[in-house]
Structure 1
Amino acid sequence: MSTAAPQAAAPAKGGGRFTRGRRIVAALSITQTIGYGVLYYAFSVFLVPMTSELKANRTQVAAALTAAVLTMALCSPLVGRWLDAHGGRALMTTGSVLGTLAVLAWSQVTSLPQLYGVFVAVGIASAMVLYEPAFAVIVTWFDGRTRANALLALTIVAGFASSIFLPLSGLLVDRYGWRQALIILAALYGVAAIPLHAFVVRRRSDPIPAARGPAQRADLVKAAVRARPFWLLVAAFTAHGGAVATIAVLLVTYLIHLGHPPVFAAAIAGLLGVLSVTGRLVTTGLRRRWAAAPVAAAVFVLQGAGALLLPLAGRTVTGAIGCVLLFGLGFGVATITLPHLLAERYGTAVYATLSGRIALFSVADKATAPLAGVALAQAIGYGWVMGAVALACGIAALALVAYHRL
């Protein structure tokens, strides 16, 4: 099924490259955990105190995070082209500096326009330092035999970002206030991410010959985007990204709407992070026997079933837990499946460019789908939202099955 450019020589497990590769994975695991914690997850903790001090409503303040995610999506294609041409070291180091300065500026905002401006900068920094560039570094460093384990290790560690930084941010806000808390988080991110990206992240010294010139890379990209498999990946991961983002935003509210206590609803929603790690482990294990695309498609079908059953069975404790378990098992599967599929079919020469183009659609959908879900829930009810989520999961599964058959 592969039409890839030739792969780079495999790194020798016993050599210095493999040892350096492990250091890169360890460094990126740290920077991704702190990066997601500070640049993304911590926002929810600061929402209430910012709303009060900026004299705005929650929707107006929350729009800043939406602006950051949309900015990240728009920057992804450009970031991808840079990564394929120059590697991740300079880009991620610069992004770390920008992210640190942006969080420091966030601590000083006094108006909504200032907040939105800061979060445009946060979005640019996020495009430069979070999963997309980190995956590109790993995909181009490791070969197929070790790449899956490297990606799994990275995403397992970074999967705990919300579990670490939501309570940490809450403690800092409670003790020091939200502005001082942001200064502390900015310092923590800068001290960790800037040196790790600058001194540990490296590019392979033996790049694929086709990757040495922009003309050759452009030809590879043109050939990919003119063919059906690429757009099936776009459809699959855009639909699934919107479904996951909608559940992430609306699950607690919907469980409360179904009659569950807020504490129970929050606790059950908190399982999604743990289940994402479980799903990644299970999926990686299954890929040793079956192809990645149908495995992910099967998981997406289970997620759709969980969403579809939630309005029917979610009023009971057992039913709610069961539906969340079904959906949660696929919560992080797309994250590790897409890099594998791209590298498998297209090689590593233009991996970041193609990943960035897919991110333009999928990340934008993650930003806008929850807003559409809220509007749909207010207009005709949460049951229809769950139906739409199930439909999106079904579309993603069908797209992956069609992709696998090409």
Structure 2
Amino acid sequence: MSTAAETAIPAPGDGGQSRSGRGWRIVAALAVTQTIGYGVLYYAFSVFLAPMAADLRASNAQVAAALTLSILIAALCAPLVGRRLDARGGRGLMTVGSVLAAAAVLAWSRVESVAQLYAVFAVIGIACSMVLYESAFAVIVGWFDGDERGRANALLALTVVAGFASSIFLPLTGLLVESYGWRQALLVLAALYGLAAIPLHALVLCRRERAERRSVTSGQRAEIVAAATRRRPFWLLVIAFTANGGAVSVMSVLLITYLIHLGHSPVLAATLAGLLGVLSVTGRLITTGLQTRLPAALIAAAIFALQGVAVLLLPLAGRSVPGAVGCVLGFGLGFGIASITLPHLLVGRYGTAAYATLSGRIATFSVADKALAPLGAVALAESAGYGWVMGAVAVASAIAAFALLAYHRL
């Protein structure tokens, strides 16, 4: 596999205890804002779905479409946000995004119709593109430029902490809705997010992550992006992480339903699905540890292949409890590794000067697939059965694995 020298402008690291300490303060701040951000802007929605639908006199499907719209808007905004991050750094963008997100959640609490809900979630989608993982990863990649080990550990720490967002905010949101109603609950969550994210983004993040990045002109950055997008390796990454994102999204939405379809109780199905969050942390720990000994593309390819085997076996072995547990374990190990593998691969081949721009290009495809794949899977399940859905997920996992194998060989 070629190195960053292939297209990127090298940027030597400068190390130092003070710089390292500042870097880890940035990681800590982003861990807080990502956990709260995903909790409020994404996971809490499922708790609000039923009471919102009743209050707005709409169907669950009509209300759920708002979240799909938000994710699609975020995907469309990703390239523009990426270019801005490369040119100006993360502080201003993420601060403005957190203000916009808090204001949008406040507006969400006041919606009176489905049309208003869609308008609010279009704004939330814009805000998400500015404040969630893609932007946070760009800040970390820029700050730890030249420090591969530090970057890997920082990304791992961030994703491990933020991985508990659902575990924290699903029960918290449920308690708030039960105690105060969904509108008041949103006011509390808006205040929580705004009071945490706005000052942390404004005061802890730096305007530029590295001094060396200022020497890269917009023309040079455009050359890096143009050279990357004309060549096969970039599009293999697009294929791999789009296929994996769709597979993971489908299983996130349909796993509980399918386990119940196989004959398991709702409690057991929910418990097994709940393992995915824990397993995502395990998979990230394993992946980060192995990256010091093996190529990251091969590690991810092997885990994606394991996911494909696990989901292919689920219709056959999943009717028994041990079989269902084994299949969920196999699939769950790859549940969160894409988020830490893609930055490693992008920086390794193209450097950091245009990281956010290239990442944003990939996110346009992968995030859109995450939004749309569950809709297609539900339609396929209704027309042909869940077995075909599991087969499609297995095929997507295989495509992701083979694309990364091909990427490694180039």
> Does TM, scored on the shorter chain, surpass 0.5?
yes
* Equivalent residues in 2 for 1:35-184, closer than 5 Å: 35-142=37-144, 143-184=147-188
- Per-residue displacement from partner, 1:367-389 (whole Å, max 9, x unpaired)? 00000000000000001100000
* Cα distance in structure 1, aligned partners of 2:88 and 2:38: 24
Shift of 1:13: 4.1
* Cα distance in structure 2, aligned partners of 1:264 and 1:18: 44
- Does the CA-based 8 Å contact 1:232-1:402 persist in structure 2? yes
Amino acid aligned to 2:248: V
Quote the RMSD (CA, aligned, Å): 0.9
Q: In the alignment, what sits opposite 2:329?
A: 325
* Equivalent residues in 2 for 1:215-234, closer than 5 Å: 215-234=219-238
Shift of 1:205: 4.3
- Does the CA-based 8 Å contact 2:240-2:401 persist in structure 1? yes
Give the direction of change, closer, same or farther, for the CA distance of 1:209–1:96 in structure 2 (3 Å limit).
closer
* Cα distance in structure 1, aligned partners of 2:358 and 2:288: 22
Q: Which 5+ residue runs of structure 2 have no aligned equivalent? A: none
* Cα distance in structure 1, aligned partners of 2:405 and 2:215: 30
Is residue 390 of structure 1 aligned with residue 360 of structure 2?
Answer: no
- Per-residue displacement from partner, 1:7-41 (whole Å, max 9, x unpaired)? 32224142x11110010000000000000000000
Q: In the alignment, what sits opposite 2:212?
A: 207
Is residue 5 of structure 1 aligned with residue 8 of structure 2?
Answer: yes
- Per-residue displacement from partner, 1:24-73 (whole Å, max 9, x unpaired)? 00000000000000000000000010011111111000000000000000
- Per-residue displacement from partner, 1:257-280 (whole Å, max 9, x unpaired)? 111111111111010001000000
* Cα distance in structure 1, aligned partners of 2:315 and 2:110: 43
* Cα distance in structure 2, aligned partners of 1:390 and 1:11: 44
* Cα distance in structure 1, aligned partners of 2:269 and 2:54: 25
- Per-residue displacement from partner, 1:59-99 (whole Å, max 9, x unpaired)? 00000000000000000000000000000000000000000
Q: Which 5+ residue runs of structure 1 have no aligned equivalent? A: none
Is residue 276 of structure 1 aligned with residue 274 of structure 2?
Answer: no
Shift of 1:209: 6.2
* Cα distance in structure 1, aligned partners of 2:187 and 2:45: 14
Q: TM-score, normalised by structure 1?
A: 0.98
Amino acid aligned to 1:373: A
Q: TM-score, normalised by structure 2?
A: 0.97
Amino acid aligned to 2:211: D
* Cα distance in structure 2, aligned partners of 1:5 and 1:107: 46
Q: In the alignment, what sits opposite 1:195?
A: 199
Amino acid aligned to 2:8: A
- Does the CA-based 8 Å contact 1:6-1:208 persist in structure 2? no
Is residue 308 of structure 1 aligned with residue 296 of structure 2?
Answer: no
- Per-residue displacement from partner, 1:113-166 (whole Å, max 9, x unpaired)? 000000001100000000000000000110213100000000000000000000
Q: Secondary structure at the match of 1:207?
A: helix
Q: Secondary structure at the match of 1:231?
A: helix
Q: In the alignment, what sits opposite 2:24?
A: 22
1:344 maps to which of 340, 348, 356: 348
- Does the CA-based 8 Å contact 1:275-1:325 persist in structure 2? yes
Amino acid aligned to 1:56: A
Shift of 1:6: 3.4
- Does the CA-based 8 Å contact 2:142-2:210 persist in structure 1? no
Q: Which runs of 4+ in 1 moved over 4 A?
A: none
Shift of 1:103: 0.4
- Per-residue displacement from partner, 1:299-343 (whole Å, max 9, x unpaired)? 000000111010001111111111000000000010100000001
Shift of 1:253: 0.5
- Does the CA-based 8 Å contact 2:7-2:227 persist in structure 1? no
- Does the CA-based 8 Å contact 1:210-1:217 persist in structure 2? no
* Cα distance in structure 2, aligned partners of 1:343 and 1:392: 25
* Cα distance in structure 2, aligned partners of 1:165 and 1:356: 27
